[in-house]
Amino acid sequence: MTYKSPLLSRPGAVEGGGADSGVAAHYGEPLREQRALAAGTAVVDLSHRGVVTVTGPDRLSWLNTLSSQQVTNLPPRVSSELLLLTVQGRIEFDARIVDDGGTAWLLVEAAEAGPLAEWLTKMKFMLRVEIADVSAEWATVGSTRPVDAWADRIAWEDPWPHVGAGGYSYSMVAEGEHPGLDRPWFEYLIPATELEDAVEGLALAGTMASEALRIAAWRPRLGAETDDRVIPHELDLLRTSVHLAKGCYKGQETIARVHNLGHPPRRLVFLQLDGSQHTLPEAGSDVLAGERKVGTLTSVAQHYEMGAVGLALIKRSVDPAEVLAVQDGGEQYAAAQEVIVAPDAGQVVGRQSGFLKGPHR
């Protein structure tokens, strides 16, 4: 059954598409909504997202053995992020996790929930854990500020862009200057039957607003910045999603090998796009250096201050000073790149100095 949010009945609501089908892309004034969301005076309906619960006394130690993150002793109400990887270190699932002391809540993209619950169920063996896809019972609502009326709700606070315990930054930007600091992010869990009442009196923004703020914060999203080849290093996800000193898990060998001895083959960049055409290229468009394809536009939005912006995965070898172009059919958009993942990221063994920020212990 295709999900449709009850908030689509609000005046001016225009439904989103793709991964954000089922909720409003906007309510008639996308840029005004984006300003309000950035200022913390609006919330965004993310009720199409997936929610998977893991209960039982072994839940955290079990998730720890499966994932890239150290969560065995995750305190109640403290937020984290974990990845489930293939043997080759490629990202299968990206879950936002918060535990309430009895249940581990995994907040995921809509398309992840069913497959994730099924995969976890196959991996439970004789452990004392129970897995459930509760997406139909719970609605997610996003905000850039804490919502006082929801202080008692389960909430996930995005750790991005801070470098977590055991994490590592692949950025050339000083930690205090990362643009992600301008976008604090909270995701609240509301019983689906209470969604309309819970947002009564609150201004609403659509997913066009939340996506623009995400892109400006350099924050990767599963299904947008990921493909069947992506590894965490390429997206700077070692800072929030990987603990480099934890025990064995599937994909750990690739994580360690690339980090210590190699370089990720691609790197995530932020693109400031030429907005003179008054249109936006489609995600999936080719990124060019001259006439040579060097990558793919993964996300694109109209930012209320910066104009047309995007994220792209490009070859590591592309000169950071080179002006790129995005080709969408017959339209070409000039694109100035800002480095997110540095070209020489990785290969930290024997590194004497440099921009890379080591793990926090």
Per-residue pLDDT at 64: 97
Name the β-bridge partners of 296.
286, 313
Let me know how long the chain is: 361
192 phi and psi angles, rounded to 5 deg? -55, -35
Architecture of the domain defined by 6-216: 2-Layer Sandwich (3.30)
End-to-end CA distance of the chain: 46
> What residues does 79 pair with on adjacent strands?
98
Alpha helices in the chain (DSSP H): 30-39, 59-66, 113-122, 195-198, 207-216, 252-261
Q: How far apart are CA 163 and CA 152, in angstroms?
A: 27
Rounded to a whole number of angstroms, the CA Rg of the chain reads: 20
Cβ atoms of 339 and 355 within 8 Å: the answer is: no
Amino acid, single-letter form, for residue 230: V
Residue 267's pLDDT is 98
Residue of 229, 198, 206 whose CA lies nearest to 296: 229
**CATH code assigned to 265-343:** 2.40.30.110
Residue 349 is predicted with a pLDDT of 87
Q: Per-residue pLDDT tens for 63-81?
A: 999 999 999 999 999 999 9
Walk along the chain (361 residues) and give the pLDDT tens digit of each residue: 799 999 999 999 999 999 999 999 999 999 999 999 999 999 999 999 999 999 999 999 999 999 999 999 999 999 999 999 999 999 999 999 999 999 999 999 999 999 999 999 999 988 999 999 999 999 999 999 999 999 999 999 999 999 999 999 999 999 899 999 999 999 999 999 999 999 999 999 999 999 999 999 999 999 999 999 999 999 999 999 999 999 899 999 999 999 999 999 999 999 999 988 889 999 999 999 999 999 999 999 999 999 999 999 999 999 999 999 999 999 999 999 999 999 999 999 876 544 444 444 3
d(CA 89, CA 112): 18
* 187 is known to lie in a ligand binding site: yes
- pLDDT tens for residues 113-122? 999 999 999 9
The domain ranges of the chain are: 6-216, 265-343
| Residues contacting 264, CB < 8 A, separation 6+ | 170, 231, 233, 234, 258, 316, 341, 345, 346
User: What pLDDT, on a 0 to 100 scale, did the predictor assign at position 352?
Assistant: 54
Contact 130, 55 (CB under 8 A): yes
Residue 321, burial from CB neighbour count under 10 angstroms (0-12, 13-18, 19+): exposed
What's the confidence (pLDDT) of residue 276? 86
- Spatial distance between the Cα atoms of 114 and 201, rounded to a whole number of angstroms: 33
